[in-house]
Amino acid sequence: MPAPSLPQIQADYQILREGAGFVNLGSRTQIELTGKDRLTFLQGFCTNDVKQLQPGNGCEAFLTNLQGKTLSFVLVYCYNDSLVLETVADQTETIANHLDRYIIQEDVILHDRTPTWQQWLIAGARTAELLAQETTTPLPEQELQHVDTQLQSIPVSIRNVPWSRHPCYAINSQQEQASAVEQILTSTGFQNCLAEAADINRIEAGFPLYQQDITDSNLPQEIDRNDRAISFTKGCYLGQETVARIDALGHVNKKLCGLKFNSQELPAIGSELSVDGKAVARVTSCCHSPDGNSVIALAYVQRGHDEPGKVLAGDTGTATVCPLPFD
């Protein structure tokens, strides 16, 4: 199939902001933890305080190794009898093997739900209005809150997700009911949108993806989501010593920032920007943003050059450092 045109992508982008659209998210990794020790177990392997979660709530977290490097960036959802870890595709083996090696006598069972659960992004200003026609359960209002409900007669879970600056949710169903869910969404007034359009909203919101914006070479504080994904008071966990030492020092040597370019040419992923001929930044995600008609990017920028307003030089022109999310 030919690549979608920029006008197609931008039209769907507007739907996901101002209308109501859905995007098939494919095989995002979803691992469910059950057993009475699930909360205390996970507490020992991630950066956030998951023991404080109540059913219906969630949080962001980094799974770290002994050296404090980031093995995964997950959304954690707390249900009555389980926890669900959700992240990008192809992370099941990495996460499950990492956690499973530490299960000794704990009452914890890991379930790979990736093949059996289907997930869509649903987004736009009219989302709540249209879904109200098909379910009696209000949408979760706060980020990472979630509800179990029915879409007509189909059981679904709806999660409030931080992938856009506009109303944005993930809806989950059993795989065998995926076709029926899409038919309901379409008949209700949701429009099927391009993944590229959702990615523009993601970049504008400053939401990073593992394997693209984050790798196992990154320290958690470099991603600059400390207030969302790291607890500095929760106590010991694998890798906590490194995270605490960085907190005591007060800085990392680079952090994830926004860049706004002065040209309409997209920089290559992995391309570097410099100051006085010295490389000080590296691009991880980029797009044409219709909001302001500009090229924007997520990039790691070295300390000392990461203040908003700093101007960096790249192959496609200059770029100005911006705080995330983009205005």
Assigned CATH for 6-203: 3.30.1360.120
Sorting pLDDT into bands at 50, 70 and 90, what band is 1?
Answer: low
Task: Report pLDDT digits (tens) over 18-29.
Answer: 999 999 998 899
The whole-number pLDDT of residue 3 equals 81
Per CATH, domain 206-322 is 2.60.40.1180: no
**For the chain, domain boundaries:** 6-203, 206-322
* pTM of the complete model: 0.96
3-state secondary structure of 165: coil
Task: Report pLDDT digits (tens) over 216-229.
Answer: 999 999 999 999 99
Say yes or no to pLDDT of 253 above 70: yes
* The two structure tokens encoding residue 140: 């979760």
Task: Report pLDDT digits (tens) over 192-207.
Answer: 999 999 999 999 999 9
**Taking a C-beta distance cutoff of 8 angstroms, is the pair 207, 163 a contact?**
yes
Task: Report pLDDT digits (tens) over 136-148.
Answer: 888 999 999 999 9
Share the mean pLDDT of the chain: 96
Sorted by sequence, the CB contacts under 8 Å of residue 180 that are 6+ apart come out as: 154
* The two structure tokens encoding residue 51: 């023991």
| CA distances (Å), origin 313, targets 32, 147, 318, 322 | 45, 46, 4, 15
Specify the residue for token string 């995007």. 23
The whole-number pLDDT of residue 278 equals 97
* The two structure tokens encoding residue 148: 């179990």
